[in-house]
Amino acid sequence: MKILVHVCCAPCFAYVHKRLSEEGHDITGYWYNPNIHPYMEYKARRDALKKYSKLENVKIVYESYDFIEYLKMQLKNTEKPDRCLNCYYYRMKKTAEYARKENFDAFTTTLLVSTYQYHEGIKKIGEELSKKYGIKFYYEDFREGFNEGKAITKLYSLYRQQYCGCLISEWERFGGKKIDD
Ligand code: SF4
């Protein structure tokens, strides 16, 4: 199948790309992550993907960084799990629309690799978007490849992030909450 893969970061994409290519699928990556803040962090992650795609000769579509629109959406709900479910929907919706418009056979997301995300929520959103846009959602539990992705990252010396993406997640990761306690 010709599959459009939403890429959350190069380490997660490395495993999915390897796995789906081995199965004979034709893979195109789709970079759309306005949830990554601040901008220099966004750039570091995007550049890691550029480096990987060059080394592996894989096609990637780079979407714009609509940071303000994303923030407006996120500030309506800052608590987990809804904050994250909205964030997945925001990025996966655009992926499904693009896949439909460009006649891909299916779309999926590397969010399915992460052991830190709401896996069932991602699956549900994928299935919902599949019905809405009339395009197949390729589902696989990629979490078993989480460590393999990390190993590929090391091998290629790719940048690997320390927090999920948004400013709230950075604050949560580094203990900002404790300051207010
Ligand atoms: S923690 Fe991650 S998934 Fe959740 S809203 Fe922030 S960037 Fe999105």
pLDDT beyond 80 at 102: yes
Q: How many domains does the chain have?
A: 1
pLDDT, tens only, 48-70: 999 999 999 999 999 999 999 99
The residue segments making up the domain with residue 117 are 2-180
Q: Whose CA is nearest to atom 2 of ligand 1?
A: 164
Residue ranges in 57-145 assigned as alpha helix (H): 67-74, 82-101, 119-133
Report yes or no: 59 and 90 within 8 Å, Cβ to Cβ.
Answer: no
CA 145 – CA 130 distance, rounded (Å): 24
Mutate to test the pocket of ligand 1, among 87, 122, 172, 174 (most ligand atoms within 8 A of CB): 87
Q: What's the CATH code of the domain at 59?
A: 3.40.50.620
* pLDDT band, residue 138 (cuts 50/70/90): very high
Q: What is the pTM of this model?
A: 0.96
Instruction: Give the residues across from 109 on adjacent strands.
Output: 6
User: Which of 179, 167, 180 lies closest to 74, judged by CA?
Assistant: 167
C-alpha of residue 91 to centroid of ligand 1, in Å = 11
